[in-house]
Chains A and B, each alone.
Chain A
Amino acid sequence: MRDDRAARRVVLTGLGIFSSIGTGAEQLVASLRAGHSNVKPITAFDTTGFAHSNGCAVEGFEPENWIRTVPVDELGRASQFSVAAARMAVEDAGLAEDDLRGRRCLISIGTTDGESHDLDRLTAMDVAGGPHAMDPAIARRVPAARLSNAIARELGLSDVEAATMATACSAGNYAIGNGYDALRVGDADIALCGGADALCRKNFTGFYRLGTIAPDRCRPFDKDRQGILTGEGAAVLVLETLQSALARGARIYAEVLGYGLNCDAYHPVAPNQESVAACMELALHDAGVKPYEVDLISAHGTGTKANDVTESRAVRQIYGSQAPPTISLKSMLGHTMGAASALAASACALAITHGFIPPTINHVETDPECEIDCVPNTSVEAGLRVVQNNGLAFGGNNAVVVLARYPMEATT
């Protein structure tokens, strides 16, 4: 039973965004509207020997512009993304550092790979010169908790729960759900939730070996789709109770209506239709909405053969033939791993705020096995009330978040 305190409403009041198609909410909106992507050969590591190696990197990232307290060289690239995105989100929410210090905060950053890019570098040093040759400064950056606790150090927060959600490619949604619950049960007054990951050899090699890296572009739900493009970036969302947001006159992007979590308990890497459908049902039930009330689904939509068929069948299982538009943001952002569902949730909130449906780009012909409308190639103006954001992951870790316009009756 939830007590009265737990029944409080939770809203999203700040966004910090680093992605291959834009820094900050404004740039992301422009790219999503225009259907942009930014696919280039990967330079984060030596790709010699791979037949193809396109990816979606964050270009021109200058962490020093955002990170003022923590020495930047104490942070790996994923932590630099998370800390910079947290700074941006807090500023976007109109919160001063002193406002945060007087409140109990939760910091929950999701990730797939943590600082695996640094582990890759340490491995190369080990291969070349033995274990004594590893750089201690890089070794100190490895613990995955740093993606979250470095944000606390940067913002000077001590009365804060800061841990990293390491649930792979749905970790961003897990983190948002964690923040939602922490606010509702009274464990926190402000939650900084999201996800961060950096391109790395380990991750790319794994997906490449599984035959799931597209050679050129990512084409979710297309009959000729060939897989994912690995990407990087971060999104941090400021969540607070409606009461708190109204009291300080904050701008509200969207309300978090609820979320669902479950586990396939089926296969280490392959998704399971029944379980994905069950997770969507859990989320809709938690959010208190019926399927017909949902205006848009942001699919996990990786662009692999297996995911897109399984996921669109799960959507049909819950929504029948009346499924709302079901898009893949990964067609534009690439698969940013632990950041993916946090960036997607941010995009959903912005779609609600700005009244449009982002497209699924690179689309030529829908796979007849994917019986959904993926809004091919061109964004559509649309007033959105309720949006569902799917996150699926290795380990069968499913997490689905439901967002809504606030106030619900407002028009855009």
Chain B
Amino acid sequence: MNRPAYTKHSPWRFALQATTLCLAILLLLTSAFILYRLGSSAGRLAGLQTGKSASLFAQPVGRHVLVQGALTSLLAFAPGILLAIYLSSYAGKAIKKNAQNLLHYLSRLPVLVLGLPLLLPEWAATLQTASGSNSAAISLGALLFVPLLGHQTARIIGALPSGLGQVSTTLGVSRRYAITHMLIPMAAPAITLASLVLIVRAAGEFFLITALFRLPSVVGPATVAMPAGLTTITILAAALLWVTLLNGLTELLLKVLHHAGK
């Protein structure tokens, strides 16, 4: 006798989910703390080197980057979710397949979020000189964040038992009601967790790109003196480790959800 997968009630499943959640929160807090400390010490170094206090690392970078990441994701949240709902519930088969494949490959690019466009001199210059550079960076980030969030959310919704939609149909419930009153509430914890991981990943990638290419800051006034030597290597290593860990964590989370949904 086959029991539907969603009836499996295993304490191990909850333990794994709880551990993943705790690990994500721990990583987030630890990373924020390390960045804050690095930012403070690097800022003092940068300040000593350049005599200016408004450089990237003169500010508590971790807090700024995370706040920017959070704002970016907030801005991207509604369109991301709508994209996911469209892809999972409304799009035709061809659109669904092609769009999801495209988003899948885009999301594999490690420097997608906030990274690549900042490499373009035009963007860097614009962001550097624009009076509302923070808003511009956040908007740009949100634009890049939408497909990533949409893709992850669509995968989460896709991992839910597919029979639920059919049951809703046979109960005469409208698709919109089924989405807003069943699908989204059920997927909400996973979407929240995935968003958290994505925020940190976005912040990590932003930080990595900025450090790698010694780009001007987009989070504050435009004068920058990048820290040199050991500090840079430490930052790079931390950022690389961070991105790798969080990408792995995202995959693990999605695999667990997918397995639970089978």
Same complex for A and B? Answer: no
B contact residues vs A (CB 8 Å cutoff): none
